Amino acid sequence: MGNTLAEKLWRDHLVTKGEDGAPDLIYIDLHMCHEVTSPQAFEGLRLAGRQVRRPDLTIATEDHNTPTLNIDLPIADETSRIQINTLRDNAKEFGVRIHSLGDADQGVVHVVGPQLGLTMPGMTVVCGDSHTSTHGAFGALAFGIGTSEVEHVLATQTLPLKEFKTMAINVNGTLPKGTTAKDVILAVIAKIGTGGGQGYVLEYRGEAIRSLSMEARMTICNMSIEAGARAGLIAPDETTFEYVKGRPHAPEGSDWDAAVEYWKTLVTDDDAVFDTEVDLDASELEPFVTWGTNPGQGLPLSATVPNPEDFPEESDRTAAENALTYMGLTPGTKLRDLDIDTVFLGSCTNGRIEDLRAAADIIKGRSKAQNTRFLVVPGSARVRLQAEAEGLDKVFIDFGAEWRNAGCSMCLGMNPDQLKPQERSASTSNRNFEGRQGKGGRTHLVSPLVAAATAVRGTLSSPDDLEDAPAALV
């Protein structure tokens, strides 16, 4: 019997095989750090008198706490400033490379790794951040870890782990125009639930996945964690190799040839067996949005707010009741009729250049809905520079959007970009949890296309709700 891609990656990083129920010891190729989940790990090293074993496989950047305005001024919030300074001090003390605020390579850690060419097929990638699953788009085994594990990787460059189970997500058919990778993953999560992926690596397969760009694949793998999965994976192909080639840390010459030769073996064998398989027909998808307070509570944009009484399971019913109360929604209301106060375009899910281009295409030559605020936050400083080189900043500013510096921004309420209580957002980020974007804030997760159309109309909208919608999208 053959092996799945996940099994091959595991096998190729096995330092020791666990015996008598003990976990395997897995080698980590790349460890990324940010300011929030690392201070206590570095402190742990210091207390134990340990060093970072492989600073040359470690990189840090600042993203969660950083403001997206006035980045050349001292950070106003004292606790944020202390946390960021702590990361800078730790990086210096332990010899870890860091890209700080103001540096062209600063940004959301999961945007920075791939753009530097540090994320490649066949690697193991970890970070103290659950959205590390993003890097699985390259055919790398990439997963989020807690602070104790951050310390463990810093000290040993390994992790003790039990092998993950495998699940195939077969996305067959062709995506209709106007639907995106974000709609695919929101539909997957709605289908299998926020706990459906627990213990599994999800391998996304099928025609619809093959046709996606690298950035779109990252969007899909990014949200694997929202289905509870350990990681997401997409087998590498020419699209992947093309994306990696020529990036600052991409292999060169004979190293490149050797790498590609190996990468081509990183596919699930035809006779391999997954622990579970799930099928999804891409051709039936339409723009998907969430109505509730977890990413599994999603529906097509054409739907209405569900009635909790229609859920057969009691726990789902209670969860829906709680969600509707928090979200201030009434069953039966058309999702398209919901007024949106703030549109957020950005995050490790949808803050890359293609996301900005797609949104800019829709809003170009239009004006923003008067009562809706539109925040555009590039995923990294490089993405911002690239967008400016293409003139996208001007499109956004002319439209009436706020053009910001890079960071996690409104994806999570730990920097100045937050929703006010009861404020309703359409957000291209990944979590609609209670209070995630600010205490009392109400989040609807959407694709960049829906975000842009919503910013035009002021209510949840898709591009085909617009007059003279761009032909490519309808």
Partner 1 sequence: MEKITTHTGVGVPLRRSNVDTDQIIPAVYLKRVTRTGFEDALFAAWRGDPDFILNKPEYANGSVLVAGPDFGTGSSREHAVWALKDYGFKVVLASRFADIFRGNSGKQGLVTGILSQENVELLWKLLEAEPGKQVTVSLEDRTVTCGELTVPFEIDDYVRWRLMEGLDDISLTLKHEEDITAFEATRDAWRPKTLPAKTEPKQHVVAARPAQ
Interaction between residue 145 and partner 1 (CB under 8 A): yes
Give me the least distance between CB of 207 and partner 1, in Å please.
Answer: 30
Positions in 226-285 near partner 1 (CB under 8 A): 226, 228, 230, 248-251, 255-256, 258-259, 262
Least distance in Å: CB of 270 to partner 1? 26
- Contact between 431 and 349 under an 8 Å Cβ cutoff? The reply is no
- Cβ proximity of 150 and 143 under 8 Å: no
Shortest spacing between CB 470 and partner 1, in angstroms: 27
CB of 30 to partner 1, least distance (A): 7
Kindly state the tokens that stand for 152. 């463990």
Toward partner 1, which CB reaches closer, 408 or 460?
408
Q: How many helices (H) and strands (E) does the chain have?
A: 16, 19
| Nearest distance, CB of residue 429 and partner 1, angstroms | 12
Selected binder of partner 1 within 302, 318, 325, 422 (CB under 8 A): 318
Q: Which is nearer to partner 1, 196 or 463 (CB)?
A: 196
The 329-368 site mask, x for binding partner 1 (CB under 8 A), equals ----------------------------------------
- Say whether residue 151 binds partner 1 (CB under 8 A): yes
CA distance 311 to 148: 39
The residue among 324 and 473 lying less far from partner 1, judged by its C-beta, is 324
| Beta carbons within 10 angstroms of residue 154's beta carbon | 25
Distance in Å from the first CA to the final CA of the chain: 45
Contacts of 129 (CB under 8 A, 6+ apart): 32, 34, 37, 109, 110, 144
- Tell me the H-state helices in 223-310: 238-244, 253-263
- Nearer of residues 72 and 271 to partner 1, judged by Cβ: 72
Site for partner 1 in 192-231 (CB under 8 A): 194-195, 198-199, 225-226, 228, 230
d(CA 247, CA 11): 27
Nearer to partner 1, 258 or 472 (CB): 258
Two tokens, residue 303: 């739907």
CB of 134 to partner 1, least distance (A): 13
Nearer of residues 302 and 318 to partner 1, judged by Cβ: 318
458 forms part of the interface with partner 1 (CB under 8 A): no
Query: Radius of gyration of the chain from Cα atoms?
Result: 21
One-letter amino acid for residue 201 of the chain: V
Question: In this chain, which stretch among 134-142, 212-220, 412-420, 462-470 interacts with partner 1, using CB under 8 A?
Answer: 412-420
Residues 24-83 that bind partner 1 (CB under 8 A): 25, 27, 29-30, 36-37, 39-40, 43, 48, 50, 55-59, 64-65, 68-73, 77, 79-80, 82-83
β-strand 373-376 against 14-16: which pairing, if any?
unpaired
Check: CB of residue 419 under 8 Å from CB of residue 437. yes
- Rounded to 5°, angle at Cα 259 from 255 and 262: 145
8 A C-beta contact, residue 67 and residue 38: no
Longest dimension (CA), the chain: 65
Contact region with partner 1 (CB under 8 A), list: 114-122, 171-179, 234-242, 347-355: 114-122
Q: How far is the C-alpha of 389 from the C-alpha of 387, rounded, in Å?
A: 5
Residue 234 vs 319, nearer CB to partner 1:
319
With CB under 8 A as the contact rule, the residue among 413, 464, 469, 470 that binds partner 1 is 413
Among the listed residues 52, 108, 111, 120, the single contact to partner 1 using CB under 8 A: 120
Which residue's CB is nearer to partner 1, number 17 or number 334?
A: 17
DSSP summary character for residue 468: T
The 3-state DSSP class for residue 426 equals: strand
Site residues (CB under 8 A) for partner 1, limited to 367-396: 381-382, 384-385
- Annotate each residue in 275-304 with x if it binds partner 1 (CB under 8 A) or - if it does not, as one string: -------------------x----------
Q: Looking at beta carbons only, is 45 or 234 nearer to partner 1?
A: 45
Q: Residue 364 phi/psi, 5° resolution?
A: -55, 125
The span from the CA of 40 to the CA of 59, in Å, is 17
